[in-house]
Chain A
Amino acid sequence: MSSPSLPPWTGGTGSVILKTNTTTTENLEPSGLTFVANSGHHWLYLASDDGEAACLSSQNGSS
């Protein structure tokens, strides 16, 4: 396969809501994301290919 020619990213500069080198997220390798509505709030759910799942606030990145 040759090197692809793709339109550049136009989504702006992102902000980090999760970095995995904390005690609670040491082993997380994000392999899937989804949003879940529960108790009047929306939560970002994350699956990891090491058999973990995480539940994150979309506002502050807490797990």
Chain B
Amino acid sequence: MQTIGTGKDYDFEAITTVNGTTSVLIGVEGAKEKSAPYTNPSLKEYTITNTSSTNFLSDSGNSWSLGGMPLASNAGMEACTYVPYSACPQTWDVPTGHNGYFFAATQQAPGSIFIYDLPAANGGHQTVSTFKYRLDPPLVQAYKISDMFYSSNQNILYVLFDDQSTSNNTTTYFSVLQGLRANSEQFLSQGYMQAPYCGCEGVAEYSGDLYLGLDQNGSQKSQNGLNYNYVYKYADFSI
């Protein structure tokens, strides 16, 4: 484990990588202020130095702030993943700075995905004024998105939701996993299901196995009956 920073400027809520590179992009939630104007969410780039070391990432100096997403106090970006252009609808424009788009979601717009065309790295900080596309349907519902991951070997964009509902003064927490795949014009749902635990905030897939990460608050721990946070592996997963 590596501690990179402390405080709201290092409120990490997402992590992704660009295929075939040694860069890792970590998403910072932003919106740290109590009232508007809010700091935009951002992506900080790190370079893999040595996976066997406790300091396995080094700051590349590149970062991008992401404008245009709706924000509220402590309600900024929760999810971000890189999707190669080959996995996007054929009607979309060719991205300019990378060979794919960065898909992001904010707590302030449940069920929506904001798609950014990031400029190529220039060794410093760059501001992207707004998103290029916004994806609303066919997501399962307007639940809060907590993470996303594009699986290249399954050609599935996994979208993870973590939300709550209240009925008769009783709050129930739940997480949902949905799979999306693009046809020539749009992303279509490949299915969805309730996750085995609430409080799921991380999803990834490798070699057919699915990984879910839990970041539970006290009420979610009580509902799950789990005292700690976990990463679970589900073998031979399909949706």
Seen from chain A, the residues whose Cβ lies within 8 Å of a Cβ on chain B are 1-4, 6-12, 14-21, 24-25, 27-39, 41-56, 58, 61, 63
Contacts and interface: CB of A to CB of B under 8 A. Distances in A.
A31 B201 contact: yes
Contacts of A11: 193, 196, 210, 234, 237
A58 B205 CA distance: 10
A9 B207 CA distance: 20
Contacts of B213: 18, 30-33, 46
Contacts, number: 199
B127 interface: no
Contact of B230 (A20, A47, A49, A55): A20
A47 B167 contact: no
Given A9-B193, A52-B2, A47 B27 contact: yes
Contact of B12 (A20, A38, A49): A49
Contacts of A55: 2, 51, 56
Interface string B155-196: 000000000011100001010100000000000000111111
Interface string B48-85: 10010000110000000000000000000011110000
Contact of A2 (B1, B3, B16, B167): B167
Contacts of B48: 36, 38
A3 to B, nearest CB: 5
B162 to A, nearest CB: 10
B4 interface: yes
Most chain B beta carbons < 10 A, residue from A29, A30, A41: A30
Most chain A beta carbons < 10 A, residue from B147, B203, B228: B228
Interface residues of B, number: 73
Contacts of B6: 50-51
B29 interface: yes
Given A10-B193, A56-B231, A25 B1 contact: yes
Given A6-B174, A7-B194, A11-B193, A20 B229 contact: yes
18 contacts: A3-B167, A7-B194, A16-B231, A30-B229, A31-B13, A31-B14, A31-B146, A34-B15, A34-B17, A38-B48, A45-B15, A46-B15, A47-B12, A49-B12, A50-B6, A51-B7, A53-B12, A54-B2
A33 B160 CA distance: 11
What are the 6 closest A-B residue pairs judged by CB atoms, nearest first?
A30-B213, A51-B10, A14-B232, A33-B202, A33-B204, A18-B231
A61 to B, nearest CB: 8
Given A42-B206, A53-B12, A63 B232 contact: no
B141 interface: yes
B129 interface: no
Contacts of A20: 228-230
Contacts of B136: none
